[in-house]
Amino acid sequence: MTKAFGSTFTRHMGVSGYRDGQWSPVEMRSLGELHLHPAAHVLHYGSSCFEGLKAYRREDGGVHIFRLDKHIERMQNSARLLCLPVPDRELLDEIICRLVHACRDDVPPAPGALYLRPVLSGVDPNIGSASRPASEALLYVIASPVGDYFGNSQTPLRLLVEDRMRTTPEFGQVKTGGNYAAALRRVVDAKQNFQADQVLFCPDGDVQETGAANFLLLQDGAILTKPLDGSILPGVTRDSLLRLAGSLGYRIEERNFGIDDMLEWIAGGEAALSGTAAVLAGVGALYHDAEEHHVGNGKVGAHTSRLRSLLTGIQTGSEADDFGWLRKL
């Protein structure tokens, strides 16, 4: 039986701690349990953020990390907004690259990848610090060899459209577990009651994103998506797809749009979810107000397939990296 995405891990992990105003040297350790005090800040007040990025093995055997600089920048922003000690760029670069070096033999060939998960948590042992930021922190990185997140990139997804918020507006841009926890019950209900793969959150009719991915609308010559206003995650895959599509002549529209606009678009266009895990996954149906709306012909669209193929080609080396997105190790 194939294990679920992200449930298999390499034998190594990278670790660094923050105390008395400084970070400890990066250590490579055997993968093992973390020892936290029961009063650790993260366990009581949710002071934690993380990242998700991938390393790819190319046909020549070389290993590359995709857009490492962008993921480092986003993790630093998440840490700042959560009032956590902010690791500097050099520390994050070192701990991630050293782990990939240690796990080099575990990077699967395409279409697989090595999924990297850096985590930063406040660990002060003080349950009276609800109104104070963490002064001690733990940074660690683990790695998981993975395949396709949804199992088959040609199987269209079904989304439930809900007039609810995914998270608080100013924290939509933060990659923190609390945002995913806030959306989880809605996603579970959608799967049980509507056989939906994900929930598309549209508070007050404003089309935003799903619980775990950015949302894009595509059609001949154009892509529409919500702007980065703090309410949604600044997806690195989203940014990559928009830049790639722009270089191919697509008109990129980053603006607010409503549910009615979306339903009008999908009558002859496409919809897709983008993210590090999913890359670009086509949507075949939207369920809204007790009615199912097919996206185009209900299959993964041609523009979605084209852009996914080109992006994965850059990641795995079958397409030229004209943007300089890959870090060779």
Task: Name the residue ranges covered by the structural domains of the chain.
Answer: 12-146, 157-316
Peptide bond into 111 cis (omega under 30): yes
* Alpha carbon distance 135, 107 (integer Å): 35
Query: Looking at domain 157-316, which CATH architecture does it have?
Result: Alpha-Beta Barrel (3.20)
Predicted confidence band of residue 3 (pLDDT cuts 50, 70, 90): confident
pLDDT recorded at residue 1 = 38
Task: Identify the DSSP state of 40.
Answer: B
* Alpha carbon distance 80, 73 (integer Å): 11
Helix intervals (H) in 170-232: 177-194
Percent of the chain scoring above 70 in pLDDT: 98
pLDDT recorded at residue 100 = 98
Predicted confidence band of residue 315 (pLDDT cuts 50, 70, 90): very high
Please determine, for residue 2, whether its predicted confidence score (pLDDT) is greater than 60.
Answer: no
Q: How is residue 285 written in tokens?
A: 């149906």
When mean pLDDT is compared across 17-21, 150-154, 238-242, the lowest value belongs to 150-154
**pTM for this prediction:** 0.95
The tens digit of pLDDT for each residue in 274-283 reads 999 989 999 9
Q: Which residues, in sequence order, are CB contacts of 217 under 8 Å at separation 6+?
A: 223, 224, 225, 262, 265, 266, 269, 270, 271
Predicted confidence band of residue 169 (pLDDT cuts 50, 70, 90): confident
pLDDT recorded at residue 168 = 87
Q: How is residue 148 written in tokens?
A: 């396709």
The tens digit of pLDDT for each residue in 57-84 reads 998 899 999 999 999 999 999 999 999 9
Predicted confidence band of residue 152 (pLDDT cuts 50, 70, 90): low
Query: Looking at domain 12-146, which CATH architecture does it have?
Result: 2-Layer Sandwich (3.30)
The tens digit of pLDDT for each residue in 257-272 reads 999 999 999 999 999 9
**Mean pLDDT, rounded, of the chain:** 96
Q: How is residue 309 written in tokens?
A: 């193929």
Please determine, for residue 153, whether its predicted confidence score (pLDDT) is greater than 70.
Answer: no
State mean pLDDT over 30-35.
Answer: 96
H or E element at residue 245 = helix 236-247
